Structure 1
Amino acid sequence: MKYINKVIRLIRKMILCMRPYNGFRNRKIFKSFSGFQRDFYIKYWAEASSAIGASLDDVGYGCFKITKGNKKTYVRNFNVMLDDNLTLNIAGNKPFVLNILKEHNFQIPKFLEYKLQDIIKAQAFLESLGKSAVVKPASGTGAGRGVTTHINDITKLHKASNFASSYCETLLIEEQVEGDSFRLLYIEGEFIDALRRDPPIVIGDGQSTIKQLIRQENNKRINSDEILTFHPLIIDMECKLKLKEQGLTIKSVLDRNQKIIVKTVVNQNSCFENHVVRDTVHPSLILTGQKIVNELGITLGGIDVITTDISIPLQESGGIINEINTTPGLHHHSLVFEKDKILPVGEMVLNYIFSNK
């Protein structure tokens, strides 16, 4: 049965790759962005190493050795030698983490774990919610891959479930909680930084379709002298559902200076939509994040929160703890709109690593 399920997932991926927007065009666009992450982190770790008096050596395979005195550590992009493999696996299992958070009475969304063969359970869950839901892979992904929001009928549920199952056999359906997306960063339980990550947008020029505006946005990202993001803006089901919610399609022409959100999932935004908010986070939220990383034994963790107001407790805003990240993208704290508020997170991570060796 396991072999059959693997074959089914492989076939589903092949089908997705044959679709016009999810296939060749997307691969071609992603290829244009393929070196951005590597180039960013080469410079990132070089500067962080220099700042703490360490040396950086390229050891191949995308890895770098950082040496300070008689101590050394290795990094690869945003991956560092802190949390062990079991911790990473546990935190990457979304249903497992949600159940732990539920046991400790943290604010989380209503959710259901399911598989394609018992999607009828997900249908019943969606109907019981009486509101939109989010469908995502239960584990094995990051950066918003396989996630679809605004699921409010059975047809969308089936499409989103098929899409998510191409990444993982086990799926999650969660209530969609309205609010902004925030990332709180911790090192060994110490609160370091907080960001508000807004959804990606396009701005109308009075003549271009949304499809054309998205293409222009991608060209802007590719041709910028500075790295604005690692990701292109992709037209997929998530995008089309968000546009439909606003009475739009990819063929719609926006008025000049009309600004619209093209996706609810924030992972394909750019630095212009990321804002430093560490000075406005309510103390109770900081404490909640500390309790979570300590409970799960996480050394370097990013806590994703959805709330309408980060300056008040979740109980008052109706917000939730959305996800826990054990390999949080450190670049998020550099690719922000407020350049003067950037913290040297890379230096902090290296200092912690070397001080605990």
Structure 2
Amino acid sequence: MVERRALGPSTKAIVDAAIAREIPWTRLNDQSLIQLGHGKNRKFIQATQSFTTRSIAVEISCNKALTKDFLERACIPVPYGKVVRNEADARRAWHSIGGIAAIKPLDGNQGKGVSLYINSEDEAARAYHIAAEYSSRVIVEEMYEGDDYRLIVVGGKLVAASKRMAPSVIGDGVSTVAALVAKENLDPRRGDGHEKPMTKIPLDEIALICLQKQALTEQSIPEKNRVVSLRDNTNLSTGGKAIDVTDEVHPSIARMCERAAQTIGLDICGIDLLAGDISKPLTKHNGIVELNTAPGIRMHHYPSEGKSRDVGAAIVEMLYPG
């Protein structure tokens, strides 16, 4: 009960930053709604949505197709794609892309229902049904090349960037994949949902599809030192890891991300980017794949590798300059 009522990592990071600034705070419910300050200085946060977050910006960011339209009109690179409502259209959309695709719920979040590296019509059909469990509308889009990055813009400025890595386990030549996952989930840094710095790895249908691509099942015993991927996507919400790369971001990429957040009017924005090397300008095969409202910031405060970035302090500074 105590753990369930504890503040999540993102909310706690903001509260800790407020305490460091001697700003009083009050928890207003048993979730993540927090009041900072009193009287004329009173402001609210809910996780990483703030007193200044615009509701229309949230609505835009929650619709992946609409977000892409906004960014494309601003000459920001986004993948080509189509919105579909049935399996037959998903199959046709995959053919129209003419290559490897990503399929995901139009208005999903936290990597739920997302399938990547779809390379056949039958895979597209299966991925459509997974995505359709989360949304009546599904987006089928071209798959950009490169590593997966999450960048955070607060108040119009880039404040953190992480390279995200898909959840995986390493074979020992004795244990099954299921046993290896269970052992990895015993890591005290992993918990359910967002309660801990890292999330437990789910062994669900998407994980089983990923295993199938590697000619494995959950009962397979991978040879010693073999890396077994449990996801194509790299979301921390589905067990991924993060490496801090803030100091490596090329200036042109930083400016593009700041402009993307400003294009839809988000004060706190998580930008998902695929790039070959974040220290160099993007190529035609790279670009932004999503903008996220209320982005989780635990990966930046508690990276698996690299320097911790105090995004919570940046949010408090945006709300209380100086």
Structure 2 counterpart of 1:160? 127
Task: Looking at secondary structure, tell me which structure has more helix per residue.
Answer: 1
2:1 aligned with 1:35, yes or no?
Answer: no
Matched, 1:347 2:313: yes
User: Partners of 2:160 and 2:184 in 1: how far apart?
Assistant: 28
* Structure 2 equivalent of residue 327 of structure 1: 294
**TM-score, with structure 2 as normaliser:** 0.88
Tell me which residue corresponds to 2:29.
Answer: 60
Q: Are residue 79 (structure 1) and residue 49 (structure 2) matched?
A: yes
- Which residue in 1 is equivalent to 2:177? 210
The structure-2 alpha-carbon separation of the partners of 1:97 and 1:43, relative to structure 1 and needing over 3 Å to count, comes to closer
Deviations 1:151-200 (CA, angstroms, capped at 9, x unpaired) = 22333322222221222111101122232111111122211111111111
CA contact (8 A) 1:272 1:337 kept: no
Going from structure 1 to structure 2, the CA distance change for 1:238 and 1:149 (only over 3 Å counts) comes to farther
Residue pair 2:9, 2:297 contacting (<8 A) in 1 also? no
Match of 1:49 in 2: 18
1:254 aligned residue: 222
Q: CA deviation at 1:51?
A: 1.1
Distance change (3 Å), C-alpha of 1:69 and 1:198: same
Unaligned runs of 5+ in 2: none
Partner amino acid, structure 2, of 1:71: N
What root-mean-square deviation, in Å, do the aligned CA atoms of Structure 1 and Structure 2 show?
2.7
Work out whether residues 136 and 172 of structure 1, in 8 Å CA contact, stay in contact via their aligned partners in 2. yes
- Note the alpha carbon deviations across 1:264-284, whole angstroms, 9 max, x for none: 111247998211111111111
The match for 1:10 is none
What displacement does 1:310 show?
Answer: 0.9
In 2: Cα distance, 1:310 partner to 1:233 partner: 27
Alignment-mate amino acid for residue 142 of structure 1: N
Residue 151 of structure 2 corresponds to which residue in structure 1? 184
Query: Across the two proteins, how many residue pairs are aligned to each other?
Result: 317
Is the contact made by 1:65 and 1:74 (CA closer than 8 Å) also made in structure 2? yes
Partner Cα distance (1:170, 1:261) in 2: 28
Aligned counterparts of 1:132 and 1:104: Cα–Cα separation in 2 = 26
Matched, 1:245 2:213: yes
Deviations 1:17-48 (A, max 9, x none): xxxxxxxxxxxxxxx9x839735356434421
**Identity across matched positions, percent:** 25
Instruction: Tell me, yes or no, if the aligned pair for 1:228 and 1:270 is still in contact at 8 Å.
Output: no
Q: Which residue of the other structure, out of 186, 192, 196, is the alignment partner of 2:163?
A: 196
Q: 1:122 deviation in Å?
A: 2.5
Match for residue 121 of structure 1 among 89, 94, 100: 89
AA in 2 matched with 1:136: K
Contact 1:91 1:296 in 2 (8 A): yes
Deviation per residue, 1:48-95 (Å, 9 max, x gap): 111111112222242222216841222233332221211100111100
Deviates more, 1:128-137 or 1:178-187: 128-137
TM-score, normalised via structure 1 length: 0.80
Unaligned runs of 5+ in 1: 1-31
**C-alpha distance in 2 between matches for 1:242 and 1:69:** 53
Q: Equivalent residue of 1:168, what SS?
A: coil
Contact kept in structure 1, 2:111 and 2:237, CA below 8 Å = no
- What is the alpha-carbon distance in structure 2 between the residues aligned to residue 36 and residue 308 of structure 1? 40
Query: Compared with structure 1, are the counterparts of its residues 104 and 80 closer, same or farther at alpha carbon in structure 2 (3 Å cutoff)?
Result: closer
CA distance in 1, matches of 2:252, 2:246: 13
